[in-house]
Structure 1
Amino acid sequence: MMDWRVGVWTAVGLTYATWSAAEATWMARRRGSGGKPLVSERRSTLIMVGAGVLGEVGAVALAWRAPTVPLAADRTRAAAAALPAVWAGLALRWWAVRTLGTHFRATIDIREDQPVVRTGPYRHVRHPSYTGGLLAVAGAAAVLNDAPAWLVLTGSTVAALLYRIHTEDAILIHHLGPDYTDYAATTPRLIPKVW
C-alpha cells in the first residue's frame, strides 16, 4: 500500500502539471482569435507575470531555509490541507474562462462584439478568474509551509491583481459604457458580497 505522503506529493505534482498545461492551452487558443481588438492593454499582464515570478522566487528563497513560522506540523500536512484550495481555485478559474468562451484573453482586449457577461460565476463577482487564481496561489503558497513565504507569494499576487482589476474596470467602463457601469455598481470585484 502506498504511503499517504507519496499520494499527497503525487497529487501536488499532478495539480501543478495540470495547472500549467491549462494556462498554456488557454493562452495559446486565444492568441490571435477573434480578429484585431479595438483596445488592447498589455502592461497589467506583464505586471501580473512579473509579480508572480518575483513572488515565487522570493517565497521559495524564504522557504528554502528552515521555516521560521510553519503553517502545519510538517510540509506534507500543509500540502494535504492546501490542495483543496488549489483545486477549488482552479475549478473557479476554469468555470470563468469557459463562461467567457471566445471573449477570454490573457490581456485586456476589447472587441467590437464585446458583451458584458453576467452568467456563470460572473453573477457573483466581476473577476471570478482572478478570484480563482488568487485562491489557487494562496493554496500553492501554503504548500511551502512557511508563513513569511506564504505572505510574499500571496501578497505579490494580491498587489498585481489590484492593479489589474483597477486597469480592467477603467477600460471596460470607458468602452462598454452604462451597461458595464450598471453591472459594476451591483456586482463585487473579487469576493462575493464583500469587495
Structure 2
Amino acid sequence: MTPTIAKTAFVLLAVGWWVMRIPHVRRSRRTPVARSARGWREITLLTISTTGLGIIPFLYIATGFPKVAAYPFQPVQASIGIAVAIAALVMFRLTHKALGRNWSVSLEVRENHKLVTDGIYRYVRHPMYTAFWLWAVAQALLLPNFVAGFSGIVGFGTLYLFRVAQEERLMIEAFGEPYRTYMARTSRLIPWLI
C-alpha cells in the first residue's frame, strides 16, 4: 500500500459514484417534481458537502495543499479506507437500485412518487446518507492530511445535520401515516442502531 494507491482509490470512489449516478440523473430529469424543498438553504448545504467531499480532497490530491496539515502515511489505515470506500460504493448501488425514478439530488418528491420500503430501505430510511458517511470516513482514512482527509466528515456532516430532519418532514407531508409507521420500524443510518 502506497500513498499513490490510496489517492487512486479515492479518485476511483468518486468516479464510481459518478458512473452509478449518471443514468439516475438522466432518468430523474424526465420525471416531474411534485414537491421541492430546493432553495438557497439546500443549495448552500449541497455546496458545503461538495466542497468537503470533492473540491478540497481533489485539490489535495492534485497539489498536496495544504502541506502543513499532512501527517505520515499509514498503510494499514489506507487499506481500511479502501474497504470502507468499497462499502460506500456498494451502498450507493443498493440505494440507487431501490429508488429508481424516485431518486433526486435534493429534497424533492416526484410525481407518482412511491414510498420505497424494500431493498436496502427495508433496513434503513436514509441509506444514501449512510453511503456518504462511508465516503467521508474512507476519505479520512485514505488521505493523510487533517484538512483534506477530514473535510468530507465536516462538509457532509453539515449537510446531514441541517437536512435529515427536513427530509423526514417532507416525507411525512407526502406519505403521512405510512411514513410514520416506516420510521418506527427502521433506523436512519445503521440497522438496529442509529
Indicate the TM-score class for this superposition, using the shorter chain for normalisation: 0.7 to 0.9
With over 3 angstroms needed to count, the CA separation of the structure-2 counterparts of 1:155 and 1:10, relative to structure 1, is closer
Q: Provide closer, same or farther for how the CA distance between residues 191 and 96 of structure 1 changes in structure 2, counting only shifts above 3 A.
A: same
Q: Distance in 1 between matches of 2:6 and 2:82?
A: 9
Q: Does the CA contact (< 8 Å) of 1:90 and 1:133 recur in 2? A: no
Task: Decide whether the 8 Å contact of 1:38 with 1:112 is kept in 2.
Answer: yes
- 2:88 is equivalent to residue 65 of structure 1: no
Q: Deviations over 1:98-123 (max 9, x none)?
A: 01111111122223432221111111
| Counterpart AA for 1:14 | L
Secondary structure of 2:15's aligned partner: helix
Structure 2 CA distance, aligned partners of 1:107 and 1:24? Answer: 15
What are the within-5 Å matches in structure 2 for residues 130-169 of structure 1?
Answer: 130-169=129-168
In structure 2, give the amino acid aligned to 1:79.
A
Q: Deviations over 1:137-181 (max 9, x none)?
A: 220232221345433320221120122211110011012110001
Alpha-carbon displacement from aligned partner over 1:13-52 (angstroms, at most 9, x marks no partner): 4333222333344323321x22x32212223642342112
Change (3 A) 1:193 1:148: farther
- 1:82-109 deviation line (CA, Å, top 9, x unaligned): 1111110111111011011111111222
RMSD, matched Cα: 2.7
Match of 2:15 in 1: 17
CA contact (8 A) 1:63 1:145 kept: no
Letter in 2 for 1:15: L
Partner deviation per Cα, 1:172-195 (whole Å, 9 max, x = no partner): 101211000111122111222222
Using the size of structure 1 for normalisation, the TM-score is 0.79
User: How many aligned residue pairs are there?
Assistant: 187
TM-score by length of 2: 0.80
> How far apart are 1:53 and its partner, in Å?
3.4
1:74-93 matches, within 5 Å, as: 74=73, 78-93=77-92
Q: Which runs of 5+ in 2 are unaligned?
A: none
For 1:49, give the aligned amino acid: L
Gaps of 5+ in 1: none
Distance 1:19 1:75 in 2: 25
Alignment map for 1:1-195 (pairs within 5 Å): 5=2, 9-31=7-29, 33-34=30-31, 36-43=32-39, 45-56=42-53, 57=55, 64-67=66-69, 70=71, 73-74=72-73, 78-195=77-194
Of stretches 82-91 and 106-115 in structure 1, the one that deviates more from structure 2 is 106-115
Change (3 A) 1:22 1:152: same
Q: Secondary structure at the match of 1:18?
A: helix
Percent pairwise identity: 23
